[in-house]
Amino acid sequence: MSARLRMAGIELRFVLRELEELLPLRVEKVYQMADSLFSFKLGGGARRSELIAWLGGALYLSGYDWVKPKTPSSL
């Protein structure tokens, strides 16, 4: 059985609903943590959050402060 690497419409709907609860937000910083792993620092709402996006098919909304590279990548 192969792994599914895309989000279905229903999954995307729930992700967007969770993000709407945090609005208004803005992207403060973007970090490339690996070749296909990005961190978006979000701010502007009542709390700070971090959106971790794996281009292979996963999104994580976290309050945890992930370890970032010391030098920025050339996005």
pLDDT digits 0-9 by tens, 23-61: 788 888 899 988 899 999 888 766 778 889 988 778 888
Query: What per-residue confidence (pLDDT) applies to 38?
Result: 92
| List of E strands, 1-75 | 26-34, 37-43, 49-54, 58-62
Entry pTM = 0.70
Element (H, E) at 10: helix 9-20
Domain boundaries, the chain: 9-62
